[in-house]
């Protein structure tokens, strides 16, 4: 029977790809919607309050995010890995204990971090950042920390069961919609900036309470379930020891992600922080595609690992990385070629000075995509200590470069420090992954079309720049052109493989549509 018919026998690789495709579409849309909503909220703050106030919000939000990550104790990745691993082994009692201990650890640490931040807010504001006006915002944000931590934990539990809708409903949509509604109310009433902080804290609290009610109604936990979790001390300790290195990975990852903002606040001004934070939310669109796939790929890969299906792990890793880069490459080019147009449209002409920072960050994030899902794979294989050390080294490089670059180069220096540190981290993780499993993404079917597309598109861009003045409304046309040209080069360089066709079949089944023309075209140019 011809490849591509609906009755085809599924290969092992296609089985895992189908699981990823089935949920990635949901979480990707949810992530994009959540990011757009969060982006809208930032635009509202930037346009209706001063650059100084927007900088204070960004700085306070950074501290809140780091605090919530610390409070989650690494369980954001530890819990879903352990749950999926035990499910693959058929050990349901261990799954129950893992869920119960995750909630217990998260609740305790969330409250502890709240107390610490609340009591130290004056010191952090005045002594560390030299901004006494930051203190009240930190105190208000700190109240939301336990609720924020529980949102993370609940999401990770459902993730372990390969359930993604809950993350979309609560973490992506409800929290952000509530914040925008409350923020609009604050703007209409024309009250003080402090109420923006209150609005965000309220949105987190309401989301957490609603999520807890939903969790209990799903009956994933019961009185006996809780009892089993408390009595399974060994399971709780395994979860804790597995997750603690991931806690350091998460903290150091947050340090890498937010150190530029924090150090801009230390070395420069809150206005500079505001300018930089016009670029950072934009560029995360490139990285969100990877986080969307990783959300479901972690439990899928953990289950494969528990069953020792190594060849399937290698093939699925390579094919998913190639598709990830294929979809994010056109967006990367848009950021590289038209940063001023994008910043002017969303934030206003005063933010155009962040254009170079946007380009630098876009390059760093895209290179990280090329290395693939190495952190997810290493987590699956239990290499959490290595991840902690590698992230520690990269964070140290990031801090050092920020100290060297920011005083002289401002926001461009902060962007360069972050981009360089991310690329070094990607190299370290990729090297470790290959050394223990021979899994890697750097195949010619990935690199060759990217290299040729870059040369051709750059030539077309610099020629067209002499004749066309680009406006924001022309960017979708450029995006379509970039993705079409990249797709053609994938075909002409014969970069499609059997697994690509299987991936397309999985997408076809998920969407419920026939992609006959595309399948036939792919067959003609397959290796």
Q: 7: buried, middle or exposed (CB in 10 Å: 19+, 13-18, 0-12)?
A: exposed
Beta-carbon count within 10 A of 462 CB: 10
Nearest alpha carbon to residue 376 among 281, 249, 251, 239: 249
> Tens digit of pLDDT for each residue in 92-105?
777 778 888 888 89
Q: How far apart are CA 527 and CA 524, in angstroms?
A: 9
> Tens digit of pLDDT for each residue in 423-472?
999 999 999 999 988 888 777 767 777 777 777 777 777 776 777 777 77
H helices of 90-174, where?
92-123, 134-143, 145-160, 165-166
Across the range 220-228, mean pLDDT stands at 50
Are 342 and 334 a contacting pair, CB within 8 Å? yes
Q: How far apart are CA 191 and CA 109, in angstroms?
A: 34
> Tens digit of pLDDT for each residue in 382-391?
888 898 899 8
Sign of CA dihedral 379, 382, 386, 392: positive
Maximum pairwise Cα distance, the chain: 72
Q: How far apart are CA 36 and CA 39, in angstroms?
A: 5
How sure is the predictor about 209, in pLDDT bands with cuts at 50, 70 and 90?
A: very high
Instruction: List residues bridging with 526 in a β-sheet.
Output: 496
Residue for token pair 């807890």:
212
Q: Is residue 5 pLDDT above 50, yes or no? A: no
pTM attached to this predicted model: 0.70
Q: So what's the pLDDT on residue 230?
A: 47
Q: How far apart are CA 118 and CA 67, in angstroms?
A: 11
Q: So what's the pLDDT on residue 229?
A: 44
Q: So what's the pLDDT on residue 521?
A: 55
Across 115-119, 308-312, 406-410, the highest mean pLDDT is recorded for 115-119
Q: Is residue 4 pLDDT above 50, yes or no? A: no
Q: How far apart are CA 105 and CA 288, in angstroms?
A: 28
> Tens digit of pLDDT for each residue in 168-182?
889 889 999 999 999
Q: So what's the pLDDT on residue 495?
A: 61
Q: Is residue 400 pLDDT above 60, yes or no? A: yes
> Tens digit of pLDDT for each residue in 321-336?
887 888 888 888 888 8
Between the alpha carbon of residue 369 and those of residues 31, 318, 520, the distances in Å are 17, 12, 29
How sure is the predictor about 8, in pLDDT bands with cuts at 50, 70 and 90?
A: very low
Instruction: List residues bridging with 496 in a β-sheet.
Output: 526
Q: So what's the pLDDT on residue 138?
A: 87
Between the alpha carbon of residue 91 and those of residues 86, 302, 378, the distances in Å are 5, 14, 22
Query: What angle (nearest 5°) sits at the alpha carbon of residue 451, between those of residues 290 and 508?
Result: 45
Q: So what's the pLDDT on residue 12?
A: 52
> Tens digit of pLDDT for each residue in 142-201?
899 999 999 999 998 888 888 888 888 898 899 999 999 998 898 888 777 888 889 999
Q: 513: buried, middle or exposed (CB in 10 Å: 19+, 13-18, 0-12)?
A: exposed
Q: Buried (b) or exposed (e) across 333-372, using 16+ Cβ within 10 A?
A: bbbbbbbbbbbbebbeeebbbbbbbbbbbbbbbbebbbbb
Nearest alpha carbon to residue 44 among 346, 334, 310: 346
Q: So what's the pLDDT on residue 429?
A: 92
Across the range 16-42, mean pLDDT stands at 76
How sure is the predictor about 108, in pLDDT bands with cuts at 50, 70 and 90?
A: very high
Query: What angle (nearest 5°) sits at the alpha carbon of residue 91, between those of residues 81 and 171?
Result: 35
Beta-carbon count within 10 A of 216 CB: 11
Q: So what's the pLDDT on residue 518?
A: 56
Are 318 and 291 a contacting pair, CB within 8 Å? no
User: What angle do the packed helices 270-306 and 75-89 form, to 10 degrees?
Assistant: 10
Q: Is residue 3 pLDDT above 60, yes or no? A: no
Looking at every residue in the chain, the average pLDDT score rounds to 79
Residue for token pair 């349901």:
92
Identify the residue with better confidence: 413 or 494: 413
């Amino acid at each position: 029977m011809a490849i591509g018919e609906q009755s085809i026998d599924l290969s092992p690789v296609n089985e895992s790809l189908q699981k990823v495709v089935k949920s990635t579409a949901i979480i990707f849309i949810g992530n994009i919607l959540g990011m757009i909503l969060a982006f809208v909220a930032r635009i509202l703050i930037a346009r209706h309050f001063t650059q100084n106030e927007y900088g204070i919000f960004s700085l306070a939000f950074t501290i809140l995010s780091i605090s919530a990550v610390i409070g989650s104790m690494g369980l954001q990745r530890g819990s879903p890995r352990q749950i999926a691993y035990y499910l693959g082994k058929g050990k349901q009692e261990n799954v129950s204990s893992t869920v119960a201990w995750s909630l217990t650890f998260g609740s305790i640490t969330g409250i502890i971090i709240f107390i610490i931040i609340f009591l130290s807010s004056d010191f952090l504001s005045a002594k560390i950042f030299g901004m006494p006006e930051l203190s009240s915002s930190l105190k208000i944000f700190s109240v939301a920390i336990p609720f924020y931590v529980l949102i993370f934990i609940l999401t990770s539990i459902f993730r372990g069961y390969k359930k993604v809708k809950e993350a979309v409903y609560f973490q992506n949509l409800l929290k952000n919609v509530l914040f925008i509604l409350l923020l609009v109310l604050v703007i209409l009433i024309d009250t003080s900036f402090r109420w923006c902080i209150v609005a965000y804290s309220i949105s987190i609290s309401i989301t957490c309470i609603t999520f807890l009610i939903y969790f209990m109604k799903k009956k994933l936990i019961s009185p006996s379930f809780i009892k089993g979790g408390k009595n399974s001390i060994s399971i709780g300790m395994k979860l804790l020891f597995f997750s603690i290195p991931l806690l350091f990975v998460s903290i150091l990852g947050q340090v890498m992600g937010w150190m530029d903002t924090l150090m801009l606040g230390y070395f420069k001004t809150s206005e500079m922080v505001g300018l930089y934070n016009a670029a950072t939310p934009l560029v995360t669109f490139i990285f969100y595609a990877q986080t969307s796939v990783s959300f479901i790929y972690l439990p899928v890969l953990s289950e494969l690992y528990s069953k020792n299906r190594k060849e399937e792990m290698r093939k699925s890793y390579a094919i998913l990385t190639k598709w990830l880069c294929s979809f994010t490459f056109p967006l990367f080019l848009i950021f590289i070629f038209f940063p001023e147009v994008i910043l002017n449209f969303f934030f206003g002409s005063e933010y155009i000075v962040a254009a170079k920072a946007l380009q630098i960050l876009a390059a760093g994030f895209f290179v990280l995509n090329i290395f693939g899902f190495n952190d997810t794979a290493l987590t699956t294989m239990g290499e959490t200590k290595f991840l902690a050390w590698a992230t520690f080294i990269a964070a140290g490089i990031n801090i050092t470069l920020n100290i060297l670059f920011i005083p002289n180069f401002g926001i461009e220096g902060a962007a360069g420090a972050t981009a360089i540190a991310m690329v070094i981290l990607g190299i370290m993780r990729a090297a470790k992954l290959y050394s223990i499993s021979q899994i890697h993404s750097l195949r010619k079917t990935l690199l060759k079309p990217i290299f040729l597309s870059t040369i051709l598109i750059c030539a077309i861009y610099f020629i067209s720049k002499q004749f066309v003045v680009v406006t924001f409304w022309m960017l979708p046309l450029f995006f379509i052109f970039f993705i079409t040209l990249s797709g053609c080069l994938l075909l002409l360089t014969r970069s499609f493989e059997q697994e690509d066709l299987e991936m397309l079949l999985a997408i076809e089944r998920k969407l419920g549509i026939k992609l006959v023309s595309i399948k036939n075209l792919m067959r003609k140019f397959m290796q």
